[in-house]
């Protein structure tokens, strides 16, 4: 058990970090990252929190005979966008926590 004075300091630091994390999460929700595949024929737009916001498909790839290829391009673009959003999220959280993340402690 920590002495009460030290415990209070630790709790204040934790509270401050929690407030910073909430701000970073709000900021990330406003950030936008794009994923793409097929040389930009399919693009996806995500929030920095990883929410899929938009899918754009070039008319050049809309061919009923190539439906399977189009589906593959969409999956690839979604994965690309999700990875970029996760990378951005990790970078921003590491700035606040100094790389220390305890699952569940800060709502992440």
In tens, the pLDDT along 3-23 reads: 878 888 888 888 988 898 899
pLDDT digits (tens, 9 = 90+) for 42-68: 999 999 988 999 999 998 888 888 888
Cα 91 from chain centroid (whole Å): 10
Instruction: Give Cβ neighbours of residue 88 (< 8 Å, ≥ 6 apart).
Output: 28, 31, 33, 48
Cα-atom radius of gyration of the chain, to the nearest Å?
20
Token pair, residue 46, equals: 């995500």
Tell whether pTM > 0.75. Answer: no
pLDDT digits (tens, 9 = 90+) for 80-97: 999 999 999 888 888 887
Length of the chain: 108
The full set of domain ranges for the chain reads 30-97
* CATH architecture for residues 30-97: 2-Layer Sandwich (3.30)
The answer to whether 97 touches 17, Cβ cutoff 8 Å, is yes
């Amino acid at each position: 058990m920590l002495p009460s004075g030290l415990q209070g300091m630790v709790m204040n630091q934790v509270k401050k970090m929690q407030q910073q994390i909430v701000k970073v999460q709000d900021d990330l929700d406003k950030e936008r990252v794009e994923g793409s595949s097929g040389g930009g024929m399919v693009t996806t737009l995500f929030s920095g929190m990883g929410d899929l916001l938009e899918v754009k498909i070039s008319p050049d790839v809309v061919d009923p005979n190539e439906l399977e290829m189009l589906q593959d391009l969409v999956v690839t673009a979604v994965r690309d966008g999700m990875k970029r959003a996760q990378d951005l999220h990790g970078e921003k959280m590491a700035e606040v926590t100094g790389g220390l993340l305890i699952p569940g402690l800060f709502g992440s």
